[in-house]
Amino acid sequence: MRQITEVLRLAAQGLTYRQIGQSVGISASTVQGYLDRARRAGVRWPLPEDMDGAGLEARLFKRSDEDTRSGRPEPNWLAVHRERKQGKHVTLQLPHLEYKAVHPDGWGYTQFCAHYHRWLGRQHVVMRLEYAAGERMFVDFCGDTMPITDPDTGEIAQAQVFVSVLGASGYLYGEATAGQDLVSWLNAHANALEFYRGSPRVVVPDNLKAGVTKACWYDPELNPSYLELARHYAMAVLPTRPYHPRDKAAVEAAVQVAERWVLAPLRKWQFFSLGELNAAITEQVAFVNDRPFRGQKTSRRQLFEELERAALQPLPPTRYELATWKPAKVNIDCHVECAEHYYSVPYQLAREAVDVRATARVVEIFHRGRRVASHLRAYGRRRFITNPDHMPAAHRAHLEWTPSRLVVWGRSVGPAVAELIETILSTRPHPEHGYRACLGLMRLVKHYGRERVQAACERALATGGVSYRSVDTILKNGLDRVPVGGEGPVPGAPIQHANLRGPAYYQQTLEEA
Per-residue pLDDT tens digits for 3-39: 777 788 888 878 888 878 777 777 888 888 888 888 8
pLDDT band at 182 (very low <50, low <70, confident <90, very high): confident
User: How many C-beta atoms surround the C-beta of residue 157 within 10 A?
Assistant: 13
Mean of per-residue pLDDT scores for the chain: 80
Q: Where is mean pLDDT largest: 285-289, 383-387, 429-433, 484-488?
A: 285-289
- Angle of CA points 191, 192, 193, to nearest 5°: 95
- What's the whole-number mean pLDDT along residues 284-310? 89
pLDDT one-digit tens code per residue, 223-233 = 788 888 988 99
Whole-number pLDDT of residue 505: 47
CA–CA dist 63, 56 (Å, integer):
14
For residues 238 and 171, is the Cβ–Cβ distance under 8 A?
Answer: no
User: How many C-beta atoms surround the C-beta of residue 8 within 10 A?
Assistant: 18
CA–CA dist 138, 506 (Å, integer):
82
- DSSP states of 260-290: IIIIGGGTT--BSSHHHHHHHHHHHHHHHHH
Q: Tell me the CA distances in angstroms from 450 to 416, 475, 480, one per residue in order.
A: 11, 12, 12
pLDDT one-digit tens code per residue, 457-479 = 999 999 888 889 999 999 999 88
- What's the whole-number mean pLDDT along residues 98-105? 80
Whole-number pLDDT of residue 64: 47
Q: Please give the DSSP secondary-structure letter assigned to residue 431.
A: G
Give me the residue spans of the domains in the chain. 2-62, 67-122, 136-311, 324-393, 401-481
Instruction: Look at residue 63 and tell me whether its pLDDT is greater than 70.
Output: no
Instruction: Look at residue 83 and tell me whether its pLDDT is greater than 80.
Output: no
Which homologous superfamily is 136-311 in?
Ribonuclease H-like superfamily/Ribonuclease H (3.30.420.10)
Whole-number pLDDT of residue 124: 47
Whole-number pLDDT of residue 123: 60
Cite the DSSP H helix spans in 178-247.
Answer: 182-196, 224-232
Residues with Cβ within 8 Å of residue 97, at least 6 apart in sequence: none
For residues 349 and 330, is the Cβ–Cβ distance under 8 A?
Answer: yes
Minimum mean pLDDT range among 5-14, 64-73, 169-178, 274-283: 64-73
pLDDT one-digit tens code per residue, 425-454 = 888 755 656 777 888 899 999 999 999 999
- What's the whole-number mean pLDDT along residues 232-238? 88
pLDDT band at 247 (very low <50, low <70, confident <90, very high): low
Q: Tell me the CA distances in angstroms from 97 to 37, 100, 107, 419, one per residue in order.
A: 32, 5, 11, 95
Dihedrals φ, ψ of 301, to 5°?
Answer: -65, -40
Q: Where is mean pLDDT largest: 277-281, 421-425, 434-438?
A: 277-281
Count CA atoms within 13 Å of residue 479 on its CB side. Answer: 21
- Dihedral (CA of 202, 203, 206, 208) sign: negative
Whole-number pLDDT of residue 331: 81
Give me the percent of the chain exceeding a pLDDT of 90: 29
User: How many C-beta atoms surround the C-beta of residue 207 within 10 A?
Assistant: 16
Dihedrals φ, ψ of 141, to 5°?
Answer: -100, 145
Q: Where is mean pLDDT largest: 38-42, 51-55, 294-298, 459-463?
A: 459-463
| Residue 152, burial from CB neighbour count under 10 angstroms (0-12, 13-18, 19+) | exposed
CA–CA dist 175, 191 (Å, integer):
9
Whole-number pLDDT of residue 180: 87
pLDDT one-digit tens code per residue, 494-509 = 445 455 555 554 445 4
